Chain A
């Protein structure tokens, strides 16, 4: 099926990814294409330099802070 309908036919949304989080549980973030730890830090903390905080909290998943993959779920510390 075409990704964008050129008529009013149905769209195949089976490849849509989604997620949910709520207060009172540890925060996580699913990496998307084009993300970097700095960008993620900028979103969560308003400060790109806080990327180290995210890196340290995810040492078990990230060996190189410049290499994160779309779909990876990272812990976001307070």
Chain B
């Protein structure tokens, strides 16, 4: 009877010990990675895509007689294509006469539609523009976009 009790105790102890040891070695299941919320890509910034000098601009906003050489009596147009703009963005130009480093004219216009826009600006002078080199600088929301040079000759 005593021996049976001892044997039972030993067996019970062994069983408990076995369970304990197997529990220690047990690896925890890896937790699933916490999913980070997807960050939306920021919208592309408004930009001046192209600047084209021409004698005219047609109904489809294409340059008519594009070029960089003009006569003093010509109306000089600059066709500006912008992208990724928001209605209300401000497009501006500064026409410069390089011989005397003078500002000829500055103009601006608020763009009317979101996305791509076409705009045009012109200068002309009844007495004729003085011969020489000129440049037109295009600004979008106050930041310089693109420039284009041209010349006036009789």
Q: Which residues of A contact B95 (CB under 8 A)?
A: 18
Looking at the complex, which of B5-13, B17-25, B41-49, B115-123 is the stretch in contact with chain A? B115-123
Q: Mark A44-69, 1 if CB is under 8 A from B, else 0.
A: 11100000000000000000000000
Q: Mark B41-65, 1 if CB is under 8 A from A, else 0.
A: 0000000000000001111010010
Q: Mark B91-118, 1 if CB is under 8 A from A, else 0.
A: 1010101011011110111111100011
Q: With A13-B104, A18-B107, A43-B56 known to touch, is A23 a contact of B127 (CB < 8 Å)?
A: no
Interface size class of A (residues with CB under 8 A): 20 to 34
Q: How far is the CB of A76 from chain B (nearest CB, A)?
A: 7
Question: Which of B107, B119, B128 is close to A23, meaning CB atoms less than 8 Å apart?
Answer: B119
Are the C-beta atoms of B58 and A46 separated by less than 8 Å?
Answer: yes
Are the C-beta atoms of B109 and A21 separated by less than 8 Å?
Answer: yes
Are the C-beta atoms of A16 and B105 separated by less than 8 Å?
Answer: yes
A-B contact count (CB 8 A): 99
The complex places the Cα of A45 from the Cα of B120 at a distance, in Å, of 17
The complex places the Cα of A1 from the Cα of B4 at a distance, in Å, of 129
The complex places the Cα of A16 from the Cα of B2 at a distance, in Å, of 123
Q: How far is the CB of A19 from chain B (nearest CB, A)?
A: 5
Q: Which residues of B contact A24 (CB under 8 A)?
A: 87, 111-113, 117
Are the C-beta atoms of B126 and A5 separated by less than 8 Å?
Answer: no
Q: How far is the CB of B137 from chain A (nearest CB, A)?
A: 14
The complex places the Cα of A23 from the Cα of B113 at a distance, in Å, of 8
Question: Which of B104, B111, B122, B128 is close to A3, meaning CB atoms less than 8 Å apart?
Answer: B128
Please give me the 7 A-B residue pairs with the lowest Cβ-Cβ distance, nearest first.
Answer: A24-B112, A22-B119, A24-B113, A43-B56, A20-B109, A44-B59, A4-B130
Q: Give the A-binding residues of B (Cβ under 8 A).
A: 56-59, 61, 64, 73, 75, 87, 91, 93, 95, 97, 99-100, 102-105, 107-113, 117-131
Q: Could you write out 25 A-B pairs with CB less than 8 Å apart?
A: A8-B100, A11-B130, A13-B97, A13-B103, A13-B125, A15-B126, A16-B104, A16-B123, A16-B124, A17-B123, A18-B122, A18-B124, A19-B107, A19-B122, A20-B122, A21-B109, A21-B120, A22-B109, A22-B112, A23-B61, A23-B117, A30-B122, A33-B73, A43-B57, A70-B126
